[in-house]
Amino acid sequence: MLRMIRFASESRVILSGVPVWRCLQQTVRAPNIELNAQLPFQSRPSSRLMPSTITATNMLRIRPVSWRVTRLCHRDPRGTSDRGDLKEGFSLRALGQAPKPALYLGVSGLIPFLFAPLSMAATQSFYPELACAQVVYGACIVSFLGGARWGFALPAGSPAQPDWMNLGNSVVPSLLAWLALLCRDNFAEGALVVIMGLGLSLHYDLTLLPGYPSWFKAMRTVLTLVATFSLVATLVIKEFYPEKKIKDIQN
């Protein structure tokens, strides 16, 4: 049986030799527990507790509490945050989820980038005509990337809203492409502007203007890196190999 409940002179209730106030204090401090039942007694103005209503089984019952991890910002079931942006994480493994037409066309789009440095390295000569063609093609790709964002934001229901942020930044790559074409007489300047446009477009698509699926982000990352390295390779060839004209070779 339960031990007798006795009252101390300081009006403390002691259950089984342990003060109730200390038991309550430890319960509040203990992690991952909650009070499952209210105390079956009420305090009166005389600060006396009714001992007849206290039992050992229903006084305190504790159970573990499973805390759910909450997010710092609210997201709806579609994955959109309070700002209306769809921030979907991605990895290069998502490249395998890309549709075959998008993947094949994207990879084939690297041929003009890679043809110039590979042909120059094979002949150990720098051809200004090939270098200029590479810069012009890179400017077209940069302008295309800006237009892709514009077209992505216009359809109804798109996660990218047609606001100043999306549409305004979509015009910047086209302006950089135009500036690169103005520098076609100087290959180094034109190539640097194209590299800047490629990097800025990738930054827009991955961080500043999210909304694309993960496979597209992975493909954009790979294609941008290869195109950038091809332009850097042509710049290196220009510094170490002699310059030749294609017209002189044909004659």
More confident position, 200 or 48: 200
Task: Quote the CA–CA distance of 161 and 105 in Å, as a whole number.
Answer: 27
Task: Identify the band that residue 251 occupies on the pLDDT scale cut at 50, 70 and 90.
Answer: low
Task: Return the bridge partners of 126, or none.
Answer: 243
- pLDDT digits 0-9 by tens, 25-42: 454 444 444 444 444 444
- pLDDT digits 0-9 by tens, 191-239: 999 999 999 999 999 988 878 889 999 999 999 999 999 999 999 999 9
Rounded to the nearest 10 degrees, the angle between the axes of helix 164-182 and helix 187-203 is 170
Rounded mean pLDDT, 92-115: 92
- What is the structure's pLDDT at 185? 83
| DSSP per-residue codes, the chain | -PPPPEE-TTS-EEETTEEHHHHHHHHHHSTTEEE-S--S----TT----GGG--TTTS--EEE--PPPPPSS---TTSB-TTS-B-----GGGGGGS-HHHHHHHHHTTHHHHHHHHHHHHHT-B-HHHHHHHHHHHHHHHHHHHHHHHHHHSSTT-SS-SSHHHHHHHHHHHHHHHHHHHTTTSHHHHHHHHHHHHHHHHHIIIIIS--S-HHHHHHHHHHHHHHHHHHHHHHHHHHHS-B--HHHHH-
- pLDDT digits 0-9 by tens, 131-147: 999 999 999 999 999 99
- pLDDT digits 0-9 by tens, 80-97: 443 333 445 567 788 888
Question: Is 179 in contact with 230 (CB distance < 8 Å)?
Answer: no
Rounded mean pLDDT, 59-81: 40
Average pLDDT, rounded, for the chain: 74
Question: Is 119 in contact with 144 (CB distance < 8 Å)?
Answer: no
